[in-house]
Structure 1
């Protein structure tokens, strides 16, 4: 299912830059199955919120995408979660990150949808360690992921959506945004997490 290994560019990119961009990271059959799954659950996408749990709120000035959290309701979802579990193991084995689990959702951007500059984890206040973005389709225009240099307004990299491309980056380190979509853009956004548990209580997802 995975078309890359932890040695070579993958290892060097994460060690030296804190992020990596891997074209054709997963096989085409799985990408097609995930895209078909998006079409299946299309009526059930909901407006994405800001924050987590009791602090969740909707703010169209910050983001306008729609999401659907994985619920294990399709074989495509289960297969993808298994693939990401293998990547979690690879990251732990290679970089000793202590990653505990993985959570993710489908993200749909239609014409004009965006997500302004943000970080996926605030230093010392989140259990999200590594962010993943997998693109499921290749829009003709719009929806680029822009990652900024740490503590800077300078662009580190701008990534155009292309089906099968996987992006991984440190959640606390990089401010990023999604530019307004022109064509429909489908992806999976996910987070490898550490367990910020207290007294044996497992930290909840999302």
Structure 2
């Protein structure tokens, strides 16, 4: 079944530069991640997200209001490892079918408190072009249109709004598709990451 999902993602990337895959995580897998120590017992380790990287990092709540905590594949909880392993399988599939040279990923857990947002931006840094694909998997149960919090992608001739429903994965070109996170009326949870053409080094994030 996951091969069919991987195929849809690869086809979407090849044809449109983005793909949406519902049930990338099952509801049981989402529940396990939400109830794991990563989210529940270590919430105080989430940090205010900034703009930029390393020495250029700046905190600006007028641009983004989320809190993040980076996941390390070597000590992630078992539920989170299920997602990370599936992401690794996706990388292998994309490399075989689209002939890319993707090497690794970096992923953080993300919490957007109600009312917060992330203004329009591009994920690839000006001084660092190793982020090739952006991947977001949502962990929000019973999300409705009226809750807001959509991911808005700016495509060539249109915008596309995507609701952050439970288990849904969105994957898109980090260097091409500008996007933003709209404000929501409730807390919004996700696993947000990037697929890289080099080995990730979390020490520098």
TM-score range, shorter chain: 0.7 to 0.9
Q: CA deviation at 1:40?
A: 2.9
Contact 2:49/2:66 (<8 A) preserved: yes
Determine if the alignment matches structure 1 residue 113 to structure 2 residue 116. Answer: yes
Aligned counterpart, 2:24: 25
**SS at 1:172 equivalent:** coil
Aligned pairs for 1:75-154 (under 5 A) are: 75-122=78-125, 125-138=128-141, 139-140=143-144, 141-150=147-156, 154=158
Aligned counterpart, 1:35: 34
Residue 83 and residue 49 in structure 1: after superposition, are their counterparts in 2 closer, same or farther (change >3 A)? same
Larger displacement relative to structure 2 (60-69 or 25-34): 25-34
Aligned counterpart, 1:6: 6
- The superposition leaves residues 108-164 of structure 1 with CA deviations (integer Å, 9 ceiling, x where unpaired) of 0111110000000147841000000000113340210000014x6x41x10011000
Aligned counterpart, 2:201: 204
Misfit runs of 4+, over 6 Å: none
Q: CA deviation at 1:34?
A: 1.1
Determine if the alignment matches structure 1 residue 167 to structure 2 residue 170. Answer: yes
Q: CA–CA distance in 1 between the matches of 2:76 and 2:196? A: 22
Larger displacement relative to structure 2 (70-79 or 44-53): 70-79
Q: CA deviation at 1:55?
A: 1.4
Q: CA–CA distance in 1 between the matches of 2:193 and 2:13? A: 17
Q: CA deviation at 1:3?
A: 7.3
Q: CA deviation at 1:66?
A: 0.7
Runs of at least 5 residues in structure 2 that lack an aligned partner in the other structure: none
Larger displacement relative to structure 2 (94-103 or 73-82): 73-82
Residue 45 and residue 192 in structure 1: after superposition, are their counterparts in 2 closer, same or farther (change >3 A)? same
Aligned counterpart, 1:46: 47
Contact 1:113/1:180 (<8 A) preserved: yes
Larger displacement relative to structure 2 (136-145 or 161-170): 136-145
Contact 1:146/1:176 (<8 A) preserved: yes
Q: CA deviation at 1:78?
A: 2.1
TM-score (norm 1): 0.87
- The superposition leaves residues 8-29 of structure 1 with CA deviations (integer Å, 9 ceiling, x where unpaired) of x333322110111111112222
Q: CA deviation at 1:42?
A: 1.9
Q: CA–CA distance in 2 between the matches of 1:94 and 1:123? A: 28
Runs of at least 5 residues in structure 1 that lack an aligned partner in the other structure: 196-201
**SS at 2:172 equivalent:** strand
Contact 2:133/2:195 (<8 A) preserved: yes
Contact 1:130/1:169 (<8 A) preserved: yes
Q: CA–CA distance in 1 between the matches of 2:89 and 2:200? A: 21
